[in-house]
Structure 1
Amino acid sequence: MPIRSTTSFAVSRFGVISATTALCVVMALMMLAASAHAMDRRVLHDGWEFRQMPPAKGDAGIGSSWRTATMPGTVHTDLLAHGLIPDPYVGAPEAGLQWIGLADWEYRTTFQVSAGERAAVRSDLTFDGLDTFAEVFLNDEKVLDADNAFRTWRIPVQGRLREGSNELRVVLRSPIGRMLPHVQSMPYRIAGNYPSPYGDEPKDVLTANFVRKPGYHYGWDWGPRYVTAGIWGSVQFTSWSAAMVEDLQVRQDRVTASVAELTAIATVDAARAGDYQVRLWKTGPGGDRKVMATQRVTLPQGRSRIPQSFRIERPQRWYPTGYGEQPLYTFDVEIVQGAGIVDARRVRTGLRSVELRRERDADGRGFAFIVNDIPVFAKGANSIPFDMFPSRVTPAQLRRVLQSAVDANMNMVRSWGGGYYESDAFYDIADELGLMVWQDFMFGGGMQPAYDPAFRANVVAEAKDQVQRLRNHPSIVLWCGNNEEEIAWKYWGHGKTLKEADPEFAAKVWDGYVQLFDRDLRRVVEEDAGGIAYWPSSPSDDMAEVANTPASGDMHYWEVWGNPAHPPSAYLGVTPRFMSEYGLQAWPVRKTIDHAIARDEQRIDSTQVEAHQKFLAGKGNERLLHYIRMEFGEPRDFDAFVYLSQVMQAEGIGLAARHHRASRPHTMGSLYWQLNDVWPGASWSGIDWFGRWKAMQFHARRFFAPVALAALRKDGRTTVSAVSDRTTSRKGEWRLRVMDLHGRVLGDERTRFELPPLSAVRLATYQDAELLGDADAVKTVAVLDMNVSGELPVREVVYFTEAKNIAWPASPVQAELRQGPEGTTLELGADAMARAVWIDFGSLDADIADNALTLLPGERVTLGVSSSATPEALRAALHVTTLADVLSTPSSSRSTATP
């Protein structure tokens, strides 16, 4: 809509009128201001009820009675709250709960509307999350048919309200029931993801990719199948008679050390045409507040965009963690009419420049994020949903995991596309912590029916909603179209199979894909994201013919763990421009397993264990054993299996991450799969569903340290490199010792060196024979230590054979808990080499300063311990495990803990 500027309005309107007329005008303006203050915004989260309609087969006889509901929420969580279903995470209840996804559900509440609200010129109901096929009724009149869980649904309801009580009702249709007839009628079907093993839909008829709903609800290889429904986002009622601020974008046109050139764009919905003043405030990171721009405008009825440009001299810039601070500015836009503010909107953002740089070189094209002119090596992991039921994820839960990422020296998370767009809290916390976010659109795999124009239009509306909601967050540095759909079509047989069956339909499917992911979503990001780059798929080379190549673009590498299940040393043979997925699986800590699986079921092949192992439909433990046996041999019991899975995962991922960092600047990112968990089970995560760290998370803190050492051994050759994320050069010394497992030093050398900024420097290369000499490989290790000015000491240990072949000494680890003025500490010592030392406190929760560490012979370390348990309880529960313990016979366990 056009906006007529009326900057001189006040002078021209009042400059030539009589005092009486002026008094009347002032009184009228005061009345208008009073009415303008009648803006009402409130959430409608109270008094909700739900029921099933009508009962479905296998529903355990819950009937169709109305029961109280929690809002926001889901059907599964409401049923659980009433004790109508067992805990979906405990034992193996999954098969018996699939009826929930086949049923239709109804929710209702009432809310009060005052006479003033009913008389308002405009009234809206807004649903921030309807999952998924939802019919909304207001006072028994249908006002919405929704079909997308990721959209914001805003419903004009003026003229439909009653003074007093109003009933709001939402009917949620089964997404499987809605889509199954359509998919079954297709002569040839497009590829989906994970077939249901439970019979709720035929294994050859997959409906998930036809529905704009979280894909992981249909099951994934790290989580269960719970096709839930619900009102999972906020429900709001808004009424106004003047103007409402729908959105405020603070577009960063140019940000340098000397100046930030910004444009604040307010989107305003005017109930009536009229004259307004728009006022923009800035509050700096230090709390200083000032008006940055004012403007008088005449707004037409309806939606208008009001831009205001301004500058901030010498801005405090936002940096990724490890590169600087994260100062945040607050901007408030106020819409003023007469003497009153009729509405306002606030956003918080950080000021920075960000670029995805793709320079050509002799190998192909790079893939590097440049923030404030600094090429940042991206270190981190892929995040998945934090729960099967997103409405119960708390900000505290998000903060615990994201803080853990920062504590492990990560600076980026990739918010993966098979879940949902995270809550505002997720991005607020990422902004505060300096975590860059690679944000996927919500497409997790398979192929989409993008040949359907209505489907594409629905997705474009979704994308606009989400990009506009999130575009002020400085943490978001990339929008990506989808996860693995391009390579699935090109290389996994999806495209080939359909081309052979129906070439015309296959061409239509691919053309739709190109239209959606190369054009439509790219256009949304270009128009609405404020300068953030777009990437069409992961992995991809920006729609080039060849994807998932080390030469250009980003890569996923799954030939380790996935087929053909190469050993972890194969990571050293792949040097990508940016590795956005790679991973190894492990089970979580014992306390987490105890929550989900009964002790008498804790066997590798038990029903409950297989229910919580989703890879290869519950047989993923066979793949896990394959990797454990390679390095460690046969685990003697379930506890050893769990412990060795974590050691294998931590060491294997560490090998890959160090290789990526040592390959800088050819490689500029290493994001392993995965950061977190959706429930308590086996997965590729480093942090489990409770927020507890696996061994890999402790290792990540070392291999992602700002200054680190990479000692990479393959085929009898060890390459030693130093890597630095620091922006200034550092001086240091590195030391190489060759010793036996009892600490007898066979060789010792020290070398001083200078480490340039933002670099990887090769320090040395050794053949095994150069290091070992006449020493026995099964009794000898190489220890590399690096000390760099201003940094924590760094250590790497190189072994010359698999752990199962090493002659581990029968020397105990001593562990002593002490209580002092600084709190509880744990002192550890070992008389001989102790690898993969793991400390736990059984059923007690305790945070330990370090874990999953290696002790050299004669070495002693002191670790802080934080717990609500008493020192006596901690001492009684303390248990220390080493690799030597687990690889020995039960009678020769050699780890001890002393009071």
Structure 2
Amino acid sequence: MKRELKESFEIRVAGTEDWYSMTVPGSAMDTLVKAGVLPDPYYGENEYQVREFFRNDFDIRGHFTVSPEEFKAGHMLLVFNGIDTVADLYLNGHKLGHTENMHRRFTFDIKKYAKEGDNLLEIHLASPLNFIESYKPAKGREIHMCNTGTMPGNQYIRKPHCMFGWDWGPQLPDAGIFREIELVTYEKARLMDTLIRQKHEEGQVTLTMTTDVEKDADAKVKLTYEVMDPDGKLLYLGEDSSVKIEEPRLWWPHGSGEQPLYTVRVLMESEGEEAQEKLYRIGLRTVTVSREDDEWGQEFAITVNGKKIFARGADYIPDDCYYSRLTREVFLRDVQAAVFANFNCLRIWGGGYYPADEFYDLCDEYGILLWQDLMYACNIYDLTESFKENIVEEARDNILRFRNHASLGLICGNNELESAWTDWTAMKCHAPSLKRDYLIQFEYLLANVVKETAPDAFYWPSSPSSGGSFDKPNDDNRGDAHYWDVWHGQLPFSEYLNHYFRFCSEFGFQSLPSIKTIETFTEEKDRNLFSKVMESHQKNPAANGKILYYLSETFRYPRDLSGLTFLSQILQGYAMKVATEHWRRNRGRCMGSIYWQFNDNWPVASWSSMDYYGRYKALHYMARVFNEAVAGSIRKEGNTMGFWISNESLKEAAVEVKVSLKDLDFKVLYEETVSGTVAPLSAVDLLTKDFSELIEGRSEQVFVTMEYKVTDKETGKTEERCEFETFVPVKHLELKDPELTVSCAEDGTVTISAKSFAPYCMVEGVNEDIIWDSNVLAMTDGNAKVLHPVKGVVPGVKPEIRVYDVYHTYA
């Protein structure tokens, strides 16, 4: 029997008299901000005051009742699914134990301390700041490096690194109980985890289930397995742990097929006690990473059901600095946003945390493959014996939770540690034994945990890596790569076209969040890019200057902050579009485009495509188009343009492409149409055209469009889309006032038309956060464009909207 304990909890600053009612899951920051003791850390510069508050220790106490039936049970356990972080735990005055890992699940046997009736649970949480600052490594093994925006010593505690800051996040190392506390009772046996392995053969899949049971020596148990198909039809019920499924319905990532989920029910019966059961929803699929040698080096291709998939997505970070707020509702928002942008993949970044079970469930349902980092990033670790034991148990705890999920694509040891050791100046002055320990930690200890607990999962030692052992980890021609010369190196967007990574798992460009988001943390006087508050909500040094530098290369200087916000988002979207389309055109050589980053953990200027409040930036809308399974793109080289179709679907696509050269008043100066068939999982250049003669003397008054129709040859369904390109930067185009005509219906449907070329138009809800099925439009002809709302419209309330376009940012 199991139940959650969450009532009657209180928290106080240790050594004080004032207790505050606390929800569980909950935290010191969440409770004390609500109580008015602490200011909102996301507003203004309050972050720094709240950060220093975590030099305090905290006490939590809670009462719970043990029933007569529970008290009589042979075994009684308290299970803590998430303690943040350094804690001593007591029950009725007796010490249960000590914890030092937020990523682990801790279980304590309380049979000898529990009482029938009222019980008092007390938890003393030690200051995380004092913990890392007082840590003393062995002589000669001191660690000096500190990643941008983070607090020194954060690698000494097993807590999300980004709680101590990052170059997009605040330094808010909260403390509390961020996941459920459970009271578990049983007589002699407890049902634990089941490993479900799949063997795929022609026309059938065999499931083999291995179940762990904790039991007394004299306990006798019976295990029964039930398997149901996605429609709920019973396929098997019995004690055989090997089950054949005929005519299996395969699980595919989003954009490649459907996501049917089978249910496996494991039932344990033991004499004298209530039966226990666990349910698993699984997708029938094979997933690995192909590393075949080829003409360019060695490929890195996520392979699902034997098909090499081009991975399209972004890097996921924690959605909040309040970890108890990370609920199913937030995860649903995230996964639906990923599907909206036509992702088939998310990379769970190693500087954050392991998401809750609901996150993996939703990725299964919606078809989002997961690149799962273990929680290590941009650091050096002191691999003591106690640290080894701690991290092995951490890996085991979490892999047991997510190993059976259809969405699990691969497990990666860490973020950027291997390349840091080979490339970062800050790593050079550290003890050779620390570098040796890297290999022990990620290529032996944790690799073995993955092999033991998830034997069918692909393990990759680091990201980026060419395979481990410090062998050119950021090699363009092997493994995965992180590329930052565009942005950090301030190279132009065209530099992406010079690289053909086998799989780019990090690259990015910053933008400002919505002006609505800026208004949540500023006063009117702060709304200048270089005010103290705005700079406090920009954690990457010199980044605001980089935004202006890149803006100067493409657009004219905007007249106000809202215009700057809009243009920064267009720049960001265009940068990611240039890179992703290039790598998709080179499908086969490159097999993944995962941009940094998907989301935010507070309101901030960052690389995200969806901000803290779930508001889609321009990039997110643009990604919906450039990540389409069948997508058109224009390859520009001087005045020559290639018109490509990338087909990442499993079906052949019939395509008709119309290429037009137009003046800014939409007059067609040249037109050509070409048709073709694009094979599944391929990219084709359908037409290449040199426009030099046609644009001579008027390159600033013309643009090119690629209108294309895609027909599914099986269903006959046709979709129409349009791409555009210019011969000069937009700042040099002789744009006119497009005289936009905009209307918004009560249901949120927006109609826009223009009298002249408007390269980027974006609609925003003033009061509601409306998401439309399309946005960030190019007005390339006189026809009206219609935006249909997806969510955010309040029934019965006609939305107020505002429209941004390039011309009016400076005119």
TM tier, smaller: over 0.9
* Residue correspondence of structure 1 range 680-691 to structure 2 within 5 A: 680-691=603-614
Q: Determine if contact 2:147/2:379 at 8 Å carries over to the other structure.
A: no
Matching residue within 575, 578, 583 for 2:503 = 578
Q: Which moved more, 1:747-756 or 1:411-420?
A: 747-756
Residue 76 of structure 2 is matched in structure 1 by: 123
Say if 1:766 and 1:887 are closer, same or farther in 2 by CA, change over 3 A. farther
Aligned to 2:715: none
Q: How far apart are residue 192 of structure 1 and its match?
A: 4.0
Secondary structure of the residue that 1:575 maps to in structure 2? coil
Letter in 2 for 1:53: A
From 782, 792, 804, the counterpart of 2:704: 782
What SS is found at the alignment partner of 2:334?
helix
- For the 8 Å contact 1:580–1:670, the answer to whether it is kept is yes
CA offset at residue 318 of structure 1?
Answer: 0.9
Instruction: From 107, 126, 135, give the equivalent of 1:182.
Output: 135
Query: What does residue range 60-459 of structure 1 map to in structure 2 within 5 Å?
Result: 63-183=16-136, 187=140, 189-194=142-147, 206-252=152-198, 254-256=199-201, 258-271=203-216, 273-294=218-239, 308-337=241-270, 341-450=274-383, 452-459=384-391
Residue in 1 aligned with 2:588?
665
Task: Please give the secondary structure, in 2, of the residue aligned with 1:515.
Answer: helix
Tell me the alpha carbon deviations over residues 364-388 of structure 1, each in whole angstroms, 9 at most, x when there is no partner. 1000011111111101011110111
SS in 2 for 1:583: coil
Is 1:799–2:726 an aligned residue pair? yes
**1:41 paired to 2:19:** no
Give the partner amino acid of 1:156: D
2:443 is aligned with 1:511: no
CA distance in 2 between partners of 1:714 and 1:102 (Å): 57
1: CA distance between counterparts of 2:116 and 2:327? Answer: 36
What's the CA shift for 1:743?
A: 1.2
Equivalent residue for 1:487?
419
Question: Take 1:494 and 1:453, find their aligned partners in 2: how far apart are those partners?
Answer: 25
> For residue 828 of structure 1, what is the aligned residue in structure 2?
752
Amino acid across the alignment from 1:235:
I
Distance 1:881 1:257, change over 3 A: farther
Give the stretch that moved more between structures: 419-428 or 758-767: 758-767
Instruction: Report the more deviating stretch, 117-126 or 44-53.
Output: 117-126
Query: Which deviates the most, 63-72 or 688-697?
Result: 63-72
SS at 1:321 equivalent: coil
Partner-residue secondary structure (3-state), 1:635: coil
Q: Is residue 186–residue 273 contact of structure 2 (8 Å, CA) maintained in 1?
A: no
Q: Secondary structure at the match of 2:237?
A: strand
> Using the alignment, how far apart are the partners of 1:178 and 1:867 within structure 2?
44
Residue 818 of structure 1: CA displacement?
3.7
Deviations 1:829-848 (A, max 9, x none): 11110111011232333332
* Contact 1:326/1:432 (<8 A) preserved: yes
Does residue 559 (structure 1) correspond to residue 490 (structure 2)? The answer is: no
Residues 231 and 825 of structure 1: CA distance in aligned 2, closer, same or farther (over 3 Å): closer
The separation in 1 between residues aligned to 2:788 and 2:243, in whole angstroms, is: 49
Cα distance in 2 between the residues matched to 1:284 and 1:752:
42
| Deviation at residue 264 of structure 1 after TM alignment | 1.4
Alpha-carbon distance between aligned partners in 1 of 2:654 and 2:246, rounded to the nearest angstrom: 35
Name the amino acid aligned to 2:733: I
Taking every aligned residue pair, what percent have the same amino acid on both sides?
32
CA shift, 1:140, in A, is 1.2
Residue number in structure 2 paired with 1:696: 619
Q: What's 2:11 paired with?
A: 50
Unaligned stretches of 5+ residues in structure 2: 713-717
The answer on whether the counterparts of 1:194 and 1:218 sit within 8 Å (CA) in structure 2 is: no
What does the per-residue CA deviation read over 1:842-870, in whole Å, with 9 as the maximum and x for residues that have no partner? Answer: 23333323211101131211222465447
Q: 1:859 to 1:193 in 2, by over 3 A?
A: farther
Partners of 1:169 and 1:475 lie apart in 2 by: 38
**Conserved in 1, the CA contact under 8 Å of 2:82 and 2:102?**
yes
Q: How far 1:788 sits from its partner (Å)?
A: 2.1
- For residue 842 of structure 1, what is the amino acid of its counterpart? V
Supply the distance in 2 between the matched residues of 1:137 and 1:486 (Cα, whole angstroms): 41
Give the 3-state SS of the residue equivalent to 1:155 in structure 2: strand
Partner of 2:392: 460
Q: Summarize the Cα distance change of 1:196–1:380 in structure 2 as closer, same or farther, 3 Å threshold.
A: closer
Is 2:404 aligned against 1:472? Answer: yes
SS of aligned partner of 1:521:
helix
Q: Residues 761 and 777 of structure 2 are in contact (CA less than 8 Å); yes or no, is this contact kept in structure 1?
A: yes
- From 665, 673, 692, the equivalent of 1:750 is 673
Q: Does 2:543 match 1:620?
A: yes
Asked if the contact 1:632–1:887 (Cα under 8 Å) also holds between the matched residues in 2, the reply is no
Which amino acid in structure 2 is aligned with residue 646 of structure 1?
Q
Q: What is residue 535 of structure 2 aligned with on the other side?
A: 610
1:458-489 C-alpha deviation (Å, 9 max, x unpaired): 11110000001111111011000000111111
TM-score (norm 2): 0.96
Deviation string 1:5-62 (CA, Å, 9 cap, x unpaired) is: xxxxxxxxxxxxxxxxxxxxxxxxxxxxxxxxxxx311111111111113xxxxxxxx
SS at match of 2:165: strand
2-structure distance, mates of 1:872, 1:116: 54
The code of the aligned residue for 2:129 comes to I
State the partner residue of 2:521. 596
> What is aligned with 1:57?
none
Mapped pair 1:881 → 2:807: no
Q: Measure, in 1, the Cα distance between the counterparts of 2:318 and 2:145.
A: 20
Aligned counterparts, 1:693-732, within 5 A: 693-732=616-655
For the 8 Å contact 1:739–1:781, the answer to whether it is kept is: yes
> Are 1:732 and 1:788, in contact at CA under 8 Å, matched by a contact in 2?
yes
Contact 1:244 1:342 survives alignment (8 Å): no
Q: CA contact under 8 A between 1:279 and 1:291: conserved in structure 2? A: no
Aligned length in residues: 804
- Give the distance between the partners of 2:781 and 2:673, measured in 1 at CA: 20
**Is structure 2 residue 446 aligned with structure 1 residue 521?**
yes
Scaled by the length of structure 1, what TM-score is found?
0.87
Taking structure 1 as reference, are residues 365 and 184 closer, same or farther at Cα in structure 2, changes over 3 Å only? closer
Partner Cα distance (1:264, 1:548) in 2: 39
SS at match of 2:297: coil
Q: Could you tell me whether the CA contact under 8 Å between 2:502 and 2:591 is conserved in 1? A: yes
Structure 1 position 630, deviation (Å)? 1.3
Deviation at 1:768, TM superposition (A): 4.8
Between the aligned partners of 1:457 and 1:274, the Cα distance in structure 2 is: 30
User: Conserved in 1, the CA contact under 8 Å of 2:464 and 2:481?
Assistant: yes
Query: 1:428 offset after TM fit, Å?
Result: 0.6
- Is 1:763 the counterpart of 2:686? The answer is yes
Q: Which has the higher mean CA deviation after the structures are superposed, 310-319 or 265-274?
A: 265-274
CA distance in 1, matches of 2:29, 2:368: 32
Contact 1:824 1:871 in 2 (8 A): no
